[in-house]
Amino acid sequence: MARSEQHQPEAGGADSAAPAQAADAPAYADRVYRSGGGIAGGALVLALVLWLGIDAVATGGGRVPWLSLAALLFVVPLLVAFTVRPAVFAGPNGVRIRNPFRTISVPWGAMKHMKARFSTELFTRDGAKYQMWAIPVSLRQRKRTDRRLSRLERSATASSGSRQSALTFASSDTEPKLAQADQALVEMRELADRAEENGAEAAKGAPAVRWSYEIIAPSAVGAILLIILLVLG
């Protein structure tokens, strides 16, 4: 389940969502989308793994402490990568997709379209496709929302006797919210449309991809050490 929150743009760094805004442009907080369920589940599993691993290091004998350290070095970065790390930062100039092993910065001008069918995906004008791990698609939530909307429209039609009045009633404050993945795409499309209307130069450019070596490197080292220890044993 993805959640949206406000986030101040990060200063500097290779991960910046897009080029800096013009000096006279208003600064807005980025919209941040994360999977609350993924973070909660990942934190629980991470705590369990750390507890078992540290206990094995502290009390194990022989090669057990070294095997435990290598296993922790291999497993912990992967757990962080797939649960805590994924996030999507959408700002006035573009979107930054932080996936397990890559961070993709896409200016709005380089985006072609987005869709949320079985997964949330962004397509660029150069033909590339990027998944948004932080915005999972819940088909159950989408069906539940559709059923509520259908019931609301039927109720409005029965009370007013007019399809047009029903649609007006359905779009009032009592309208059920969209599924969270769909709502996130609606919000991001609004940002993209706003950037296009304003003709922001900072929203133009090509997508940039950066590999997350801070995740890949320690996990690879842990895997190599684990293999060496197992082979030597």
pTM value is 0.73
String of DSSP letters for 6-25: EEPPPPSSTT-SSSPPPTTS
pLDDT value of residue 177: 64
Task: Using the CB atoms, write b or e for 18-38: b if 16+ within 10 Å.
Answer: bbebeeeeeeeebbbbbbeeb
- DSSP 3-state percent helix, strand, coil across the chain (nearest 5): 50, 20, 30
Looking at residue 199, what is its pLDDT?
A: 77
Residue with tokens 């095997």: 67
The whole-angstrom separation of Cα 128 and Cα 138 is 24
Q: What is the rounded distance in angstroms from the CA atom of residue 101 to the CA atom of residue 216? A: 7
Indicate the angle between helix axes 213-232 and 64-79, nearest 10 degrees. Answer: 150
| C-alpha closest to that of 98 among 181, 214, 203, 1 | 214
* pLDDT by 10-residue block (mean), the chain, 233 residues: 55 44 53 91 95 93 92 96 95 94 95 88 94 83 60 60 51 56 89 85 86 96 94 82
Q: Tell me the helices (H) and strands (E) count for the chain, helix number first.
A: 6, 9
Domain residue spans in the chain? 2-138+196-232, 139-178
